[in-house]
Amino acid sequence: MVHGGHPLNAETPPHLLRESFVTPVDNFYVRCHGNVPGVDPGSYRLEVSGLVERPLRLSLEEIKELPKSEVTATLYCAGNRRTELTEVHPIPGKVAWGTGAAGNARWGGVLLRDVLEAAGIGEGVRHVAFTGLDRDVESGTGAPFGGSVPVERAVADGTLLAYEMNGEPLTPEHGFPLRVVVGGYVGARSVKWLSGINLQAEPSGNHYQAVEYKLFPAHVTAENADYSEGEMLGEIPLNCVILTPENGETVVPGLVPVRGYALAGGDRRVVRVEVSADGGGYWNEASLLGDDGPGTWRFWETTLRLSPGPRRILARAFDSGGGAQPASVWEIWNFLGYANNAWHGVGIEVGG
Ligand SMILES: Nc1nc2c(c(=O)[nH]1)N[C@H]1C(S)=C(S)[C@@H](COP(=O)(O)O)O[C@H]1N2
Ligand SMILES: [Mo]
């Protein structure tokens, strides 16, 4: 489902997303703020600079000589489920994501930690900033996309410089030849077409760290926002989505399978998913399938016995930190439309 050709933005329809735990590259959502740069792998260089003992300028070959790691990690766009937030108040000028700006892949590459250690992490380093090779269209600045993560997350096991996605070289849309993958963090920090890594005391000053991808309280609007305020998004908020049945679907009365994904942020894990067919009065515990650890979504399923009539099915998750989700979008509306993790609902018709 394409939201725009330039910049290229597309999401995965719900039933396709639920087909496989590892999302095929062809079905994987794409989120771009500018062009898709064509990068020549031969002349490509990655610069590592800032508060380091030895600045580095690495070719792709030199990067591939470092020990290879493989990580399963879910990319999750902070704007996923924005459309549901517009029920409270319109969010003009922003991509109208449904539930498919998320995908799970097997990433191959090198640990960011290994590259940072080769450069030598200098004194006073608090943040690791990434810059891409694209030219931004959305903000009108024409500057490359960028963002940062705290140094503790940069050296964690789930943070990779990836050159492979599901066993193949990255495709142009997903960041060829090299991208960052930060498990447990919003997708915006997983910078594609990576050109530079800078070690610094402060978070990145890039538009997409310092201005966008920030969370504001409900009383702040586009007109009165002070963009130096607001909380920079980092760890993915706990979330749970029903993928089948889909909104508006008609199902046969009797036993109806309900399936979806759930995802926790940081190092937390999804420990329980509950599904309700009566507006949240009674909750059935769903079965959680598989567990690839933090940073990776969990698929879940349950079966509800449904009699004819219109029904609204709700789902919610709980994480290993005791975290739970807000019941309604009214509790979390924000004018940029990020981090919607209210209980997810689909309206279906039981009958036929
Ligand atoms: N250089 C660059 N990196 C980027 C972006 C971008 O526009 N430019 N978009 C970010 C956002 S907001 C998300 S959600 C993910 C999406 O990754 P994908 O397109 O591979 O699914 O990439 C991130 N990395
Ligand atoms: Mo995103």
* pLDDT-based confidence at residue 121 (cuts at 50, 70, 90): very high
Tokens matching residue 152: 């503790």
Q: What is the pLDDT of residues 252-303, one digit of tens each?
A: 999 999 999 999 999 999 999 999 999 999 999 999 999 999 999 999 999 9
Residue pair 132/46 in contact (Cβ under 8 Å)? The answer is no
Instruction: Please report, to the nearest 10 degrees, the dihedral formed by the alpha carbons of residues 317, 308, 86, 100 taken in order.
Output: 60
- Retrieve residue 352's tokens: 């036929």
Q: What pLDDT score was predicted for residue 207?
A: 96
Check residue 139 and give its pLDDT.
Answer: 86
Nearest-CA residue for atom 12 of ligand 1: 188
Distance separating alpha carbons of residues 206 and 130, to the nearest angstrom = 9
Distance, CA of 292 to CA of 99 (rounded, Å): 21
- Of all protein residues, whose CA lies closest to atom 24 belonging to ligand 1? 191
pLDDT at residue 4 in the model: 80
Residue 119's φ and ψ, nearest 5 degrees, are: -80, -25
Distance from the CA of 192 to the center of ligand 1, in angstroms? Answer: 6
CA of 186, closest atom in ligand 1: 14
User: What average pLDDT does the structure give for the chain?
Assistant: 97
The DSSP code for 133 is S
* 207 C-alpha to ligand 2 centroid (Å): 13
Shortest-distance atom of ligand 1 to CA 144: 1
Q: How confident is the model at residue 128 (pLDDT cuts 50, 70, 90)?
A: very high
pLDDT reported for residue 69: 98
**pLDDT > 90? residue 336:** yes
| Atom 15 in ligand 1: residue holding the nearest Cα | 187
pLDDT of residue 6: 87
In this structure, which residue's CA is closest to atom 6 in ligand 1? 32
How far is it, in rounded angstroms, from Cα 317 to Cα 329?
15
Q: Where does ligand 1 bind, in terms of residues with CB under 6 Å?
A: 28-33, 75, 77, 132, 134, 145, 174, 187-188, 190-193
Query: From the CA of 32, which ligand is nearest?
Result: 1
pTM of the complete model:
0.97
